[in-house]
Amino acid sequence: MPSVKKFQVTFDCAEPTRLARFWCEVLGYVASPPDGFADWDDFDRSESPDKEPQYFACTDPTGEGPRVLFQRVPEGKVVKNRLHLDVRAGTGLVGEERLATLKAERDRLVALGAVCLYVMEADGENESCIVMQDIAGNEFCLD
């Protein structure tokens, strides 16, 4: 049986630093500087003052989750994501307790700049989830 591979999730975006800081707050991740630098401020000081950051990475402080990298690209987002993140805010919860937990997390993320697109309430077959957009318009779900 092949070994499990670690992977990184990469977002193309216009503002890597801003989007990375948003997702660090969403996921409880920390900003991980490029190799050889103590922190992002140290890296920024090594760059030309007029150079915009090209990328910014976040990591799970527990080491369990994948690294998330945000890289600058010239083009903007034009269509619906083909891939999205499911933020597992209601794991193990059902019914009204799950929906209340998801709504509380939705409210926290809206305060950070996210947008709530719609709430999908439990229908007897599927549990509730909330479809959102991050500050760059990328869709994600709270489930």
Residue 19 has pLDDT above 70, yes or no: yes
7 and 66 in contact (C-beta within 8 Å)? yes
Looking at 21, 37, 72, the residue that finishes a domain is 72
pLDDT in tens, 24-74: 999 999 987 777 888 777 877 787 766 667 888 899 999 999 999 999 988
Structural domains of the chain, count:
2
pLDDT in tens, 84-127: 899 999 999 999 999 999 999 999 999 999 999 999 999 988 89
Half-sphere exposure of 23 (CA within 13 A, CB side): 33
Residues 47 and 91 in one domain: no
**Residue 69: beta bridge partners?**
10, 57
CA-based diameter of the chain, in Å? 57
Cα 139 to chain centroid distance, Å, stands at: 10
Task: In whole angstroms, give the CA distance from residue 64 to residue 81.
Answer: 25
Give the CA distances from residue 37 to residues 40, 64, 78, 86, 87, in Å, rounded to whole numbers and listed in that order. 7, 22, 34, 31, 30
Considering the domain boundaries, does residue 20 fall inside one?
A: yes
Considering the domain boundaries, does residue 3 fall inside one?
A: no
Residues 25 and 62 in one domain: yes
